[in-house]
C-alpha cells in the first residue's frame, strides 16, 4: 500500500528542504517528494491525506525517556510509554537503563526490545548501563549489549563519579562505535538536596543543589573527552555554567554534544514556592538566568538536542512531603508543544527545531531516522503548528500524571505519527 501526504509544508534540513510539497510513502519507505505528485497511475491503491496547513518533518526522536519496565510497571510500561511517545509525535525513543533490574545485561536489553516489538507502536532504542547495577564500579559488557541491541551507554540518574571508570567507558564504548551519555552531577555537592540552591531554597528551608554540582561534572567529562578525543553526550543541561562550559569546549573542538529538556527552558525554581512536588526534578529547576542561558545554548547550537527526560511517577512517589518525593516529570506528550514556543518566540527556526528533535538525536545515537530522503524508513511526524490546545494530564496515554504543565495552554501539536509507513497516531 502507498500513502500520499498532500499539501503540507515539508521541512527536512537533512536535505535542505522547506516547501509546500507532496510526499509519497511506498513499502514503509519514503518514495518520493515533489510538487503535485500523482499516486494513482499504477495498480496499487494509494491512500491520500490532505495535510494542507500542516508541517511534515522527519519523525521526532526522544533520546532520553524512562519507560520503567521492567520493575516499575505501575508507573509506565513499554506499551504505555510508546503510546505516549506516538501521541507526542515521536517515532523513536531511547529508553534509559535505570529499570529494576537495571538494563546492565543483554537479557534486559532483549526483554525491552521484545516488549517494544509486541507493542509495535514506535521504535525503542535501549540505552544500557555504563556500570553494573548503575553502581559506578564495574563496566557492563558493552560488546554483548551492543549485539543485543543497545545503542548507547549511560548510568543516567547517577554520575559516573570515578573518573578512571568514565575514561574507560568512553574508550571501550568508542571501540564499539557507541556513544556514552553522562548525567552530570557531583554527588557530594548534591547530597540531600531537593531543589536549586539560592534564595528560593533558603526561603523554603530545603537543602539546595548548587548549579556548580552540574557544571563541575560537565567540566570533568569535557576534560575526559578532550584528553581521549572521544565523544561524550551531556544529558539534561540545566545550568548556565554548564552551557558556557560546553560552548567553550565545542569552540575548542572537543567532541561533546548536549541535550536539555523542555522544563529547563519553560520553568524556573520560582514555581516551587508552594512545595508542589510536580516541579521536583533532577537536575532541579534553576533560576530565570539559567533558563535564559539554556535558550541561548539552544539558539547558538551549544545544545544539540531537546529531549523529554520523560520520568513517570505515581502518586505514591509524588503525594508526599517535598523532600521525600521522587524527582522527575512526564514529558513525552508535552515536549513538542513546549518546544514550539521556542519557534514562536523566535529562539529557534522550525528547521532548527527539527534538528534538535530529530536529526541530531539520530546522529548522536547513530541510529536511522532524522531524514525524509528517498529510501529512508518512512518515520514522519505531522505537526499542526497553529493548533491551540490545553494540556490535560488525565488524558495522557502515559500511565503517569506527574506533569507540571497540566492545564497549560500550548500552541502546536503532533497530528499524525507515522512509523515505517504505518500510522501510529492520528488526530487529523
Residue ranges binding another protein (CB under 8 A): 197-199, 201-208, 210, 274-275, 319-324
Dist CA 178 CA 149 (whole Å): 11
In this complex, which beta carbon is closest to another protein, that of residue 144 or of residue 203?
203
User: Residues with Cβ < 8 Å from 96, sequence gap 6 or more?
Assistant: 64, 65, 66, 67, 103, 127, 154, 156, 157
Cell of 120: 509495535
Q: Is 309 annotated in the active site?
A: yes
106-119 and 78-87 are packed helices; what angle lies between their axes, rounded to 10 degrees? 50
- Cα separation, 134 vs 131, in Å, equals 5
Least distance in angstroms from the C-beta of 280 to another protein: 11
User: C-alpha cell of 250?
Assistant: 565545542
Q: Least distance from C-beta 72 to another protein, angstroms?
A: 15
**Cβ proximity to another protein, 176 vs 324, nearer residue:** 324
Specify the residue, 197 or 259, whose C-beta has the smaller distance to another protein: 197
Q: Rounded to the nearest whole angstrom, what is the least distance from the CB of residue 404 to another protein in the complex?
A: 16
CB of 340 to another protein, least distance (A): 32
Q: Return the residue matching grid coordinates 509495535.
A: 120
Cα separations in angstroms, 14 against 76, 358, 376, 382: 33, 10, 12, 17
Q: Which is nearer to another protein, 177 or 205 (CB)?
A: 205
CA distance 72 to 78: 10
* Bridge partners, residue 375, by sequence: none
Q: Which is nearer to another protein, 200 or 378 (CB)?
A: 200
Find the catalytic residue in 309, 394, 406, 426.
309
In this structure, what are the phi and psi dihedrals at residue 153, rounded to the nearest 5 degrees?
-125, 140
What burial class does residue 167 get, using C-beta atoms within 10 Å of its C-beta: 0-12 exposed, 13-18 middle, 19+ buried?
A: middle
Could you list the active site residues?
A: 309
Amino acid at each position: 500500500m502507498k500513502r500520499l501526504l498532500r499539501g503540507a509544508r515539508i521541512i527536512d534540513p537533512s536535505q535542505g528542504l522547506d516547501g509546500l510539497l507532496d510526499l509519497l510513502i511506498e513499502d514503509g519507505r519514503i518514495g518520493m517528494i515533489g510538487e503535485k505528485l500523482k499516486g494513482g497511475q499504477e495498480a496499487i491503491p494509494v491512500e491520500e491525506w490532505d495535510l494542507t496547513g500542516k508541517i511534515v518533518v522527519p519523525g521526532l526522536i526522544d533520546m532520553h525517556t524512562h519507560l520503567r519496565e521492567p520493575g516499575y510497571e505501575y508507573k509506565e510500561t513499554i506499551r504505555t510509554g510508546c503510546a505516549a511517545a506516538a501521541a507526542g509525535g515521536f517515532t523513536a525513543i531511547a529508553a534509559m537503563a535505570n529499570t529494576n533490574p537495571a538494563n546492565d545485561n543483554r537479557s534486559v536489553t532483549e526483554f525491552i526490545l521484545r516488549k517494544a516489538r509486541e507493542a509495535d507502536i514506535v521504535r525503542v532504542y535501549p540505552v544500557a548501563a555504563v556500570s553494573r547495577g548503575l553502581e559506578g564500579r564495574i563496566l557492563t559488557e558493552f560488546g554483548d549489549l551492543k549485539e543485543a541491541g543497545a545503542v548507547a551507554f549511560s548510568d543516567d540518574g547517577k554520575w559516573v563519579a570515578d573518573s578512571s571508570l568514565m575514561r574507560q567507558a568512553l574508550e571501550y564504548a568508542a571501540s564499539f562505535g557507541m556513544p556514552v551519555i553522562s548525567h552530570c552531577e557531583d554527588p557530594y555537592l548534591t547530597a540531600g538536596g531537593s531543589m536549586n540552591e539560592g534564595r528560593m531554597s533558603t526561603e523554603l528551608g530545603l537543602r539546595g543543589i548548587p548549579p556548580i554540582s552540574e557544571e563541575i561534572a560537565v567540566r570533568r567529562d569535557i576534560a575526559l573527552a578532550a584528553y581521549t578525543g572521544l565523544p561524550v553526550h551531556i544529558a539534561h543541561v540545566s545550568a548556565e555554567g554548564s552551557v558556557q562550559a560546553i560552548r567553550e569546549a565545542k569552540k575548542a573542538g572537543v567532541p561533546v554534544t548536549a541535550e536539555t529538556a523542555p522544563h529547563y527552558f519553560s520553568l524556573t525554581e520560582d514555581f516551587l514556592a508552594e512545595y508542589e512536588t510536580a516541579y521536583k526534578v533532577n537536575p532541579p529547576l534553576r533560576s530565570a538566568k539559567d533558563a535564559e542561558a539554556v535558550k541561548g545554548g539552544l539558539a547558538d547550537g551549544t545544545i544539540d538536542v531537546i529531549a523529554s527526560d520523560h520520568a513517570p511517577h505515581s502518586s505514591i512517589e509524588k503525594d508526599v512531603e517535598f523532600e521525600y518525593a521522587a524527582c522527575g516529570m512526564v514529558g513525552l506528550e508535552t515536549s513538542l508543544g513546549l518546544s514550539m514556543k521556542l519557534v514562536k518566540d523566535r529562539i529557534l527556526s522550525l528547521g532548527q527545531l527539527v534538528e534538535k528533535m530529530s536529526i541530531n538525536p539520530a546522529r548522536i545515537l547513530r541510529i536511522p531516522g532524522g531524514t525524509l530522503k528517498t529510501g529512508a524508513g518512512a518515520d514522519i511526524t505531522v505537526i499542526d503548528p497553529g493548533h491551540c490546545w490545553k494540556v490535560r494530564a488525565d488524558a495522557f496515554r502515559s500511565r503517569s500524571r506527574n506533569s507540571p504543565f497540566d492545564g497549560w495552554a500550548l500552541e502546536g501539536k503532533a497530528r499524525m505519527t507515522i512509523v515505517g509507513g504505518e500510522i501510529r497516531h492520528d488526530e487529523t
